[in-house]
């Protein structure tokens, strides 16, 4: 894990700072010293990069567009800096990777004042795709993972309009990045900026910057991590780290954005998905069962009993076998009782 992060800080995204020989030796030494080694492989079928070939309505396209999306040679604009716009891009290919990392290169900019901008954009890994809705341009009650870059503080503005004061624990600075996992039973609460259902998050001052801005979503061994690189220093900073996140395979990656009375340009420069090859111990392999319903350990999601695991074929066979055996046993007992009753009846008659 350490080798991967240091290597990315040194030469990720082609920003060369030191000689090749030093990079190679440092990377080799770090990798051999780490017990939990990780290798990464770019998955082009799940990546969105310049010049954005294969984006659109053609039969060979890997990405679908909906809403007010504009594709240029330099960026994919989810929404323009205009009121009441929304747009989204969705990968056509479902992702079956067990461990992965998604690097998001983006830019949010507009003519609005410092504190008058909105609304933000989202990165998705969900069961359903291409469904517009109220949650940053996509559907509510989704099934999967949503990561939100929220640029407008709805809850704070409501408290100000009602002349209520925040307690120190309630205050947060926007723009704000947060994550949410849902099994379809949760509703995103816009009036409270998603607080009731968020896993955590961090402040990220990403509007109208002259340098590149990035964040990375990492999913390894049921652990969800988000890091940001928004200061122009080419360094990752921690934003969120949640263990026990269980996401099914076969879901779709996407991105969406929306504007309301306030607006911004929400631009995607690239989405790069990496397959991570992670070493697991035998115990970790045995415990890493297939997941069918999104959930988070120690977090109760309504509507589904998360403690129950899908039944294996052998367990189902055992249950059916003993059920049939029980019915046969009951039938034999009833037959014996019936014969005894008939025998008594005959003796009583004679």
For the cut 50, the answer to whether the pLDDT of residue 25 exceeds it is: no
The size of the chain, in residues, is: 350
Interval 250-260 mean pLDDT: 97
In a domain, 186, yes or no: yes
In a domain, 104, yes or no: yes
Interval 192-196 mean pLDDT: 95
Residues 106 and 119 in one domain: yes
> Tokens 């061994």 identify what position?
221
Q: What share of the chain has pLDDT > 90, as a percent?
A: 60
Interval 125-132 mean pLDDT: 96
User: What mean pLDDT value characterizes the chain?
Assistant: 83
Residues 150 and 292 in one domain: yes
In a domain, 125, yes or no: yes
Pairing type for strands 86-91 and 63-67 reads: antiparallel
Give the whole-angstrom CA distance, residue 180 versus residue 335.
59
- pLDDT computed for residue 47 by the predictor: 97
Top pLDDT among 257 and 159 is at: 257
Top pLDDT among 37 and 87 is at: 87
> Tokens 């995103």 identify what position?
188
Yes or no: say if 247 and 218 are a contact pair by the CB < 8 Å rule. Answer: no
Residues 140 and 259 in one domain: yes
Residues 125 and 172 in one domain: yes
Residues 106 and 151 in one domain: yes
- pLDDT computed for residue 170 by the predictor: 57
Interval 260-271 mean pLDDT: 95
In a domain, 174, yes or no: yes
Residues 205-254 pLDDT 10s: 999 999 999 999 999 999 999 999 999 999 999 999 999 999 999 999 99
- pLDDT computed for residue 349 by the predictor: 46
Confidence of residue 56 (pLDDT cuts 50, 70, 90): confident
For the cut 50, the answer to whether the pLDDT of residue 197 exceeds it is: yes
For the cut 70, the answer to whether the pLDDT of residue 344 exceeds it is: no
Residues 133 and 192 in one domain: yes
For the cut 90, the answer to whether the pLDDT of residue 154 exceeds it is: no
Residues 299-316 pLDDT 10s: 877 654 444 444 445 555
Residues 211 and 249 in one domain: yes
Domain count for the chain: 2
Residues 263 and 232 in one domain: yes
Residues 30 and 47 in one domain: no
Interval 17-23 mean pLDDT: 47
Residues 13 and 115 in one domain: no
- pLDDT computed for residue 14 by the predictor: 44
Residues 74 and 3 in one domain: no
In a domain, 30, yes or no: yes
Lowest-pLDDT range, 87-96, 151-160, 195-204? 151-160
User: Closest Cα partner for 292 from 180, 183, 165?
Assistant: 183
In a domain, 307, yes or no: no
For the cut 50, the answer to whether the pLDDT of residue 10 exceeds it is: no
> Which domain covers residue 104, as residue numbers?
39-296
- pLDDT computed for residue 29 by the predictor: 44
Give the whole-angstrom CA distance, residue 1 versus residue 7.
10
Start-to-end Cα distance in the chain: 90
Confidence of residue 28 (pLDDT cuts 50, 70, 90): very low
Q: pTM value?
A: 0.76
Burial 216-251 (b: 16+ CB within 10 A, else e): bbbbbebebbbbbbbeeebebeebbebeebbbbeeb
In a domain, 327, yes or no: no
Residues 2 and 77 in one domain: no
Domain termination site, one of 280, 296, 312? 296
Give the whole-angstrom CA distance, residue 350 versus residue 348.
6
In a domain, 342, yes or no: no
Yes or no: say if 177 and 202 are a contact pair by the CB < 8 Å rule. Answer: yes
Q: How far is residue 268 from each of residues 52, 75, 105, measured CA to CA in Å?
A: 11, 6, 6
- pLDDT computed for residue 54 by the predictor: 74
CATH number for the domain harbouring residue 45? 2.60.120.200
Instruction: Name every residue whose Cβ is closer than 8 Å to that of residue 126 and which is 6 or more positions away in sequence.
Output: 138, 142, 143, 144, 145, 146, 251, 252, 254
Q: What share of the chain has pLDDT > 70, as a percent?
A: 75
Interval 314-340 mean pLDDT: 73
């Amino acid at each position: 894990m350490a080798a991967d992060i240091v290597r990315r800080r040194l030469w990720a995204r082609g920003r060369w700072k030191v000689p090749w020989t030093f990079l190679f030796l440092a990377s080799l030494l770090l990798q051999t010293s780490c017990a939990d080694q990780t290798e990464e492989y770019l998955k082009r079928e799940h990546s969105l990069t310049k010049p954005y070939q294969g984006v659109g309505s053609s039969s060979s396209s890997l990405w679908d567009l909906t809403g007010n999306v504009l594709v240029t040679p330099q960026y994919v604009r989810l929404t323009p800096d205009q009121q009441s716009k929304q747009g989204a891009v969705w990968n056509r290919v479902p992702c079956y990777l067990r461990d992965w990392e998604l690097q998001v290169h983006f830019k949010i900019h507009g003519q609005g004042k410092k504190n008058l901008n909105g609304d933000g954009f989202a990165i998705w890994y969900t069961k359903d795709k291409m469904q517009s809705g109220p949650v940053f341009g996509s559907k509510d009650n989704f099934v999967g993972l949503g990561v939100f870059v929220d640029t407008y503080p709805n809850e704070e503005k409501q408290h100000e309009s009602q002349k209520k004061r925040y307690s120190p624990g309630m205050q947060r600075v926007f723009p704000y990045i947060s994550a949410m996992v849902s099994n379809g039973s949760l509703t995103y609460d816009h009036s409270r900026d998603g607080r009731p259902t968020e896993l955590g998050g961090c402040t990220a001052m990403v509007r109208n910057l002259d340098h590149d801005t990035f964040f990375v979503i990492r999913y390894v061994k049921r652990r969800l991590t988000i890091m940001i690189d928004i200061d122009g220093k080419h360094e990752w900073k921690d934003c969120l780290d949640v263990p026990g996140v269980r996401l099914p395979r076969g879901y779709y990656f996407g991105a969406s954005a929306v504007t309301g009375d306030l607006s911004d340009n929400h631009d995607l420069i690239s989405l790069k998905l990496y397959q991570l090859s992670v070493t697991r111990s035998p115990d970790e392999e045995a415990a890493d069962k297939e997941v069918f319903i999104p959930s988070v350990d120690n977090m109760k999601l309504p509507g589904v009993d998360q403690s129950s695991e899908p039944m294996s074929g052998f367990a189902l066979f055992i249950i059916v076998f003993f059920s049939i055996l029980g019915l046969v046993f009951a039938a034999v007992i009833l037959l014996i009782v019936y014969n005894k009753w008939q025998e008594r009846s005959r003796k009583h008659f004679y």
